[in-house]
Structures are given as structure tokens and as C-alpha cells.
Structure 1
Amino acid sequence: MNFEIRNNSPLILLVDPEKTQRLILRRAMEKEGYRVMEASDGEQCLEVCSYLKPDLVLLDAMMPGVDGFTCCSQLHSLMGKDCPPVLMTTVLNDQASVDLAFEVGAIDYVTKPVIWSLLRQRLYRLFQNQWAMGELQRLSLVDGLTKIANRRSFDERLPQEWHRLAREAAPLSLVLCDLDRFKNYNGLYGHQAGDECLQEVAKVLDESAKRPADLAARYGGEEFALILPNTDAEGAVRIAETIQGRLQASAIAHENSDVSKLVTLSMGVASEIPKPDSSEKALIEQADQALYRAKQQGGDRVVLPSSGS
């Protein structure tokens, strides 16, 4: 096996018992800009995929020991939804072999001897489709206006973090935010200016969610949310107060507000160490109640469930 990895282009695991065939295909694929790792049989393929996920497995069907059909089936059993796509190469061209290749999970096949121009186009199409699907998935989790995470992303991430931190017995904090007197803002400045205001506030929130696991999301309308894993109530309040300061520094005028002459946020903070048999819904309810109290107390403040301000 060759473990050289040179850059961030797609990584192909080439599995073929014939050394000369591997050398020819490797040179051709590397010339196209792909990274290539090699395995000479099914067992080596399974071993590599146990610790490194290639972007595609180019797998020969006819191999000694664990053949390509068995290897493909075992890859899917072991890796489940994380299994990389498998493109099978084979000297077999009968209908039964073709049907078996798809049955065990291959996404396509190429007959041997491999014609490089054909394989080149198959690889291009497969990676192009992968990119398109990944881009669609990414866009489905991003708010179109503010370009930060959307409500769907929030709804997926919060229970994930809740269950993860329940196992670690570590704190999880949630900050719910609402723009003060935003309807009045739209009434005075118009909806286009309102959209620009939402974009600016989203930018402030996103820049304040600094760690990789933190998530700033548009919760709905003029409401935003921050998911802060491994952060206790004190830390979450500090982040909320930092957001207040940055928003004030942005100095977005709001002449139609009785809270301030600048755009402000009311924020409700809740923090829990999740328990394995509990739900994240209680955390949302606490943050929502704290946000309601912040609005009732005049806005432009950070409130904890048990605090006055």
C-alpha cells in the first residue's frame, strides 16, 4: 500500500491485485490531479477504510481471498452511511455479474481492460455529482438572507450536542436573541433596510461564535440563536454581553425605538449539564422564558432564567 497524500484533491483508493495495472491507473489519475492510495486485495482495502475514508474506492471484482463483491458488501456493512462510493472494475461482463455489482452496493462499473478515456469521464461525473449533492446539502442548512445556519440546522444540531454532552457530563448553553422593536424598524426604514439590518446582526453573532462547535443560527424572523457546547451559564452571559458590545459598536440607527436610538437585542440565556434520559426541549423553554422576561423588562439586556437581568 502507498500512503502518500499530497493535497486536498479527491482521494481514490485503488484496489487491484495486478501491480502493473495499479501503476498505469495511478499515473493516469494523478496526472488528472487526483490523490491515489493503493491496496492489492480486499483485506487491505477494508483495513485502509477502517481508519481513512477515501472519496472513492476503485475496486477490482476478481481478487484472491476477499473478492471485490464481498469487499464491497463488507464495506457497506462496516461503514454504513459513511461508506465511500465504490466503482468496480471487472473482466466479467455477463448480466449476473453486473447485477451482483449493483446488489452489493457499487455505484457503477467499468470493464477490463480499462479504457482510460472512459474511466476518466466516469470519475469526473461521479465527483461532479458528489460536489453538487454536498453543495445542495450545505445550502439546505444555510439561511438564504443572512448566510448563517438556518432553523433546520439549529433543530439538527441542538439534540446532537445535547446527547454528546450528556455522555461527557459537560455543560451546554443556549442563547435566544430577539431584535428590539424590529417591526418599528421596518416601518420607518423599509424592508430592504430591515434585511440589511438582519444581515449585520447575523454577522455580529457569527463572529462571536468562535469555536468550531459553536453555532449561530437564524431562529425565525428577527430571532436568532446561539448553541454553545462546553459553556456554562457564566461563559454564555459573557458571550452575550460581547455581542451587545459589538452590536452597539456597529451603531445601526433605530430612530423608531423606545429602547435605544441604535439597534439592540434582548437575550435569554439557559445552561444545563444534560442528563442521558432528558431532552433538550427544557433548555429551549428556559431560554425562551428568559428572553420573554428580557423583553418585558424593557429590552436591550441579557437575562438568565433565575435572574432579573
Structure 2
Amino acid sequence: MDDRPTILVIDDEPANIEIVSAVLEDDYEICFALSAEQAIQVAHAARPDLILLDVVMPGMDGYQLCRIFKADPLLCDVPVIFATALGDDEAELRGLAVGAIDYVTKPIRPATLLRRVRNHVQMKRMRDQLTEQALRDPLTGLGNRRMLERRLQAELHRQAREGGLIAVLMLDIDHFKGFNDSYGHPEGDRCLQAVSASLAQCVRRSGDLCARYGGEEFACILPGTDLDGALSVAEAMRAGVQALGIAHRASQVAPVVTVSIGVASGRCDMGGDNGFWLTGADRMLYRSKLAGRNRVSGQAMTTEPDARGRSQCAPDGSHAPAPAPPPGGEARTG
């Protein structure tokens, strides 16, 4: 698999794309688009590391397209370099004002283009590394709440464009305060690390995310997953944590550490924001706790217009919690 940085070249003249490709193809994976509309589709599919964008194009020009990229949660961090025959200061300032990071003029000077592309790709990768560190929970190594909220926003945006599904899980370690009181906070930290590792083993696809939401609470995002699929993952998580066999003498549920899980799943819509999905999953988590803990509860969601005609998500049904398992036993979804 080619792991070279990807450059998206957008120009309505194929000859210009060929020139740029000849300069960059030895070091970068090149994809291209001949129009703004095509560029939006290619950018979402390729997720480029840098965009080289022509200013003057028929229909939507480069300035308008750059604004769209910068407003898109999936593409807003991708650096944009404008390439144009317009060499005046006003054109350059306008490009920078709409979010471009640099400017090159036509005819392309190969050494200059190669140097600027290399510099900006390297800077983006450094920024990505720093961002990744800032979005990780230092104790568990999972994503933190900020990462989860960013990823959820981006996935809702993407899935809404594609009419796709998403599932959100909220998890809580049962009676964790009692665990800390009984065994001490160092043991509590080791428990959190062990539970985190177990949860992460159940989230294997590249688009999935498991994050520490805060304290003993975790959350997961499963793009493209229906309710049955999400319940299956949640049950694997529940069973996996119980199978760790971490002693918990303060638990009123089982002699070992267990988790309660809530699931919300359904089709995305532009009106379905982070708060709704997280609240839906949290509501199901609360149902699991009320029903005795150490179980999974889930709810399917559908999209309906509200009284003002705006899109929103509404409950479509629920997945009844399993009966309380015996100590050391397994719960069932159903």
C-alpha cells in the first residue's frame, strides 16, 4: 500500500495537471479534479494531505471552493495552496483571506513548487501529531472527550452526505467509586487501563473510535453500524470486561468489575448533532443502570422534521435490557 502523502490538484486545464503531476509524482500520490464539483467528491474520497487549487475556473472559482473546504469538518485542516496566473498582491491577499496557506504563480517553477509543497506537508504532519497527542487520554491511551466530539461531528457530517448509519455507545464501570474506596486510586487507575484495553479490542475498524469520556465513563462511535451490529459490539464489550475477572468486593452487581452500556443507532441527518446522539446513548445507559447494571440497552433512531420543518432525530424503538445475570455469568442482549 502506498503511504506517500496525497496531493489533490484542482485545475480545469488537463495540461496544467500534467505539469504539476510530473513535478510531484516521484514523492507524492497525485489525484486530480477538473471542476469544483468534482473536487469536492474527490477530496472526500481521497482525504488529501494538501490541495493545489487553481483560482480561475468556470462556474465556481477557487476562492469559493476554498471557502467550502474550510467550512467542512473533514477537510478544514487540509492546507490549500493557490496556483494562478494572477500575480498581483490583491489576488494573493484574497486567497489568504479565504483560508489558503500559500500561493504559487503560473507558469509553475518546479523547484519552487516542490519546496513549498514539501514544507507544508511536513508542517501539516507535525500539526497532526501534536493534535493527536492533545486528543489522547494519558492514562488509558484512548481518545479523550475532545477527540470523540470532533470525530462524532465529522462522522455525522460525512454520513449525512451519504445517507449512512451511525451508532454511539456510552459505557460506565459499575460502582467504580466503591472500587476506588475499597482498593485505592492506584488500583482504580490500573482497573481503568485494563478496561480500556478490553474495550479497544472490540473496536477494530479504522473508522471506529473508543474514547474515555470522563472518569469511569467511556464512549464509542461506530460509523455505518445499525442497531443489531452496535448491540453485538456492546455485548462483546460487556462480556469482555466481565471476563477480565477484576475483583470488586464493593460491587452490588457481581464479584468482579462490570460495565453498563447504552446504545443509540440510526441514519444520520444534517439536523442530528452531537448532543442528540450522545444524549440518546446516555439515556439507554441510564436504562441499563435502572434495570440492574451489567447489561446492554439500545434504541434505534429515525429522522423526522420538527414543528418548524427542521430535521431532527427521534426515537424509533428500544432494545429491552437483558435479565440480570448471576454473579460471573453472561448477560444477553434481547
Normalising by structure 1, what TM-score? 0.67
Aligned to 1:249: 243
Alpha-carbon deviation of 1:205? 1.7
Distance 1:268 1:37, change over 3 A: closer
Q: Which SS does the other structure have where 1:225 is aligned?
A: strand
- Given the alignment of the two structures, is residue 76 of structure 1 paired with residue 73 of structure 2, yes or no? no
- Given the alignment of the two structures, is residue 10 of structure 1 paired with residue 3 of structure 2, yes or no? no
Instruction: Confirm or deny: 8 A CA contact 2:210 2:219 kept in the other structure.
Output: yes
Distance 2:54 2:262 in 1: 56
Aligned alpha-carbon RMSD (Å): 4.7
Distance 2:108 2:164 in 1: 54
Deviation per CA, 1:85-128, whole angstroms, max 9, x where unpaired? 44234566543443344356543223566554443332122112
Deviation per CA, 1:134-166, whole angstroms, max 9, x where unpaired? 34444454433223233334445289659968x
Distance 1:97 1:235 in 2: 51
Q: Which SS does the other structure have where 1:130 is aligned?
A: helix
Distance 1:197 1:128 in 2: 38
- Give aligned-pair identity as a percent: 30
What residue identity is the alignment partner of 1:9?
P
Distance 1:219 1:20 in 2: 48
User: Which residues in structure 2 correspond to 1:10-29 (within 5 Å)?
Assistant: 10-13=6-9, 15=11, 23=19, 26-29=21-24
Structure of larger gyration radius: 1
Alpha-carbon deviation of 1:239? 3.9
Aligned to 1:293: 290
Distance 1:269 1:275 in 2: 18
Instruction: Confirm or deny: 8 A CA contact 1:22 1:38 kept in the other structure.
Output: no
Aligned to 2:217: 223
Distance 1:273 1:6 in 2: 34
Aligned to 2:332: none
Distance 2:91 2:168 in 1: 54
Distance 1:203 1:113, change over 3 A: same
Normalising by structure 2, what TM-score? 0.63
Alpha-carbon deviation of 1:49? 1.4
Instruction: Identify unmatched segments of 5+ residues in structure 1.
Output: none
Distance 1:78 1:189, change over 3 A: closer
Aligned to 1:30: 25
What residue identity is the alignment partner of 1:130?
K
Aligned to 1:145: 139
Deviation per CA, 1:185-215, whole angstroms, max 9, x where unpaired? 3345443332222122112222223556654
Detail structure 1 runs of 4+ shifted over 6 Å in the superposition.
167-170, 274-278
